[in-house]
Structure 1
Amino acid sequence: MENTQDGNLGDWFKITVPYGIKYDKTWLMNSIQSHCSVPFTPVDFHYVKHLAQFFVQDASAASALKDINYKIFDEENQKIPIFVNTSAVPYSMCNKLEPEKMEQLKLTISKRYDVSQKALDLHKLRFDPDLLGHDIIIILNRRNCMTAILQTIKKNIPELLSLNLCKNKLCQLDGLSDIIQIAPTIKTLNLSKNELKSARELDKIKGLKLEELWLQGNPLCNTFPNQPTYVSAIRKYFPNLSRLDGQDLPPPTVTGIVDMDIIKPCKESFKGPETLKNLVFQFLLQSNLCEYLKDNRNMKNLKDSDLRFQLLKHTKCEIVNSLCVFPKTQHDLNSYVVDLWAHTEIMLCFSVSGVFKEVEGKSQGSVHAFTRTFILSSGSNSSMCIVNDILTVGNARTEETQSAFSIPVPTPTFSSLSTLSQEQQEMVQIFSIQSGISLQWSQKCLQDNEWNYIRAAQVFATLKTQGKIPEEAFKQIS
């Protein structure tokens, strides 16, 4: 079939993957190519709403793509649907730049390329006088324009370390996704002062090994409640990032894990190594449980399977953003029960149960029970990554409501540290450092909780939240 710039309906085929937005472009296209019996060249790959789409101009390839419908399985062992329909000529193909305009674009880009720095400056490209003087309008939100830029880079710039796309009114990054294959060496990318509204757009270029990224001036920057949340969310896409918006970033927080032998499941309290106790405790202190009914996916209440799927948070960024908008609640750490099911060198599974009350909104003061189940896996440099996180909330039992938030304030009666075992002395030292209270008060808190470190920390956190820790506890007593 002749590949012409002009084409009729039937010359082209549109390939659609429902809910394809949750798949990485490289993984999805490699999977489709490997299963398809006829080689093909995808054109205009892009995401639209929850779909992934691209075009082919080959009837035999289109027929072969129909044959692999529901033949590919994703990481969750779900079959991937692939729909094939005849289509008009893709926009990027019927609006290709003419050869003389492509030549002028090549000259313009060459002027903007710094050979010594291997940096390409395309900021405010639309208003470049060399282009406007030849009646060439380059709008990078249009896929044909972005395609022309990427083709020029591919043919004329062998190595690119820095790309500046500042002030181009970019509102999506579909067209830029091919940069991963065309210029994988990019370390610095400037997307500042554009119109990107969601950090999810970065999912389309997350294959880049970026070390420096500029996003300031985009609406997406205002979707985060604070700077740490913003940095954490962006770093999920680019783990090697060391600078964001011109500011040096601190190294990623890393938690070490040792002694990962299989242990028996436990109830009430954790009976494993102290290192794992501390790991779980620190993880829980950084977790928030708040509003729980807004995006409820309970299958007993929500019968629409499509809506249940849409409510599922697919990416790390979606999960973090959904937690950040929840209203305030107060948890009774004394009610916590941590059940560790099992752990290996690469996985840690545990659940947390307890009660909490709402401190704002229409249901202020209401007490509820929850169970939150975590599956963690070890990441790079012994860090922990959340693989699965399920929250179940229900009405608290009468006895749970009555006993919630009723922890008595400990009275200080101290004994000499020298009378304690070496292990107990070390626990007191660590507790004092982590809590900020004196050694004597740390010892008292641990003794009152039978030297159960996690429970003592939970009691302390609850009392501190309630303002029941006296000021003298934070003064070192000789």
Structure 2
Amino acid sequence: MTGCYMIINLYQVGVQKKKSFFKHCPPFSSFEYKYVLHILILPESYFRATDSLSNCDITCSPWCFSAVRKRFPKVLKLDGKDLPPPIGFDLESPTDLPTKQGSYFMNEEVKNLVVRFLEQYFSIYDSDDRQGLLEAYHNEATFSVNIAQNLTLVTNYPKYHDYLSESRNLVKVKDPVKRNKCLKQGKLNVVAALCNLPKTSHDANSFVLDVTNATQHLLSFIVSGIFKESDTKSDKPPVRYFSRHFVTVPQGSGIVIINEMLTITNATPKQVQNGQKQTAIARQLNVSQGAVSNVVQKHAQTGVLTQSETTVRTS
């Protein structure tokens, strides 16, 4: 009879102490696990057999209402009065989650531009000297790093001590002075902050790219994946998951980063495993220079993206 409307009239309940009535009452205990109750009647002649309850409207009593709902979450009517609809998270019918999608680029031209950008960017970022990234940032660029550790994932990797002092996680960093300090402004400060972060080796096989906006004046995209900290002395260097949100604008013969937000968290075992497999994005990162040049010329002709938006400026 689960799910149907039932009317339970408890004439045999008797009177017990008010606050323990629902907790210890045998009839409630037996019904609790067998049925889904929708209508419940508590007779006045028995339930209100004491002076203290004789004039009490139990539907207005907080202790009674909460006790009923705790035992029977689906109750809709109590002593003839409608109750507020229950708050629940049950799905009316089984729902399949959307299929996991890969990278999103809007179109093939934008895909080639973004892939080429990231190929050059990470080749410098993973090198021994990140100073070469100076020309990749706008003079007024801003940058922040956010550490969002997932405590449910237990790993043997070292904690995030090298990052926490500069983390601008707004959930944890409440002091406005520290928030402002952790927001790096100007390309010199940005690259200096990048140089202070641990040396890395990114796994291009794990990359997922999403272009969020592409116009003649602005190109923004997100890249996420995993990396290893390559300067550690451990035999098993820490593997982290990252997400970088780049906002770029045209400048001179290339594009420069005007805003970047880096988020670092734990890599799940599945992410580490998937990162070891060859994926489509790894092949995309091998786009030849000649192919990129052809795309540049095509954009210059169509005006979708100007030529100045197509090349990362590096020293």
- Give the TM-score category using the shorter length: 0.3 to 0.5
Select the structure of larger CA radius of gyration: 2
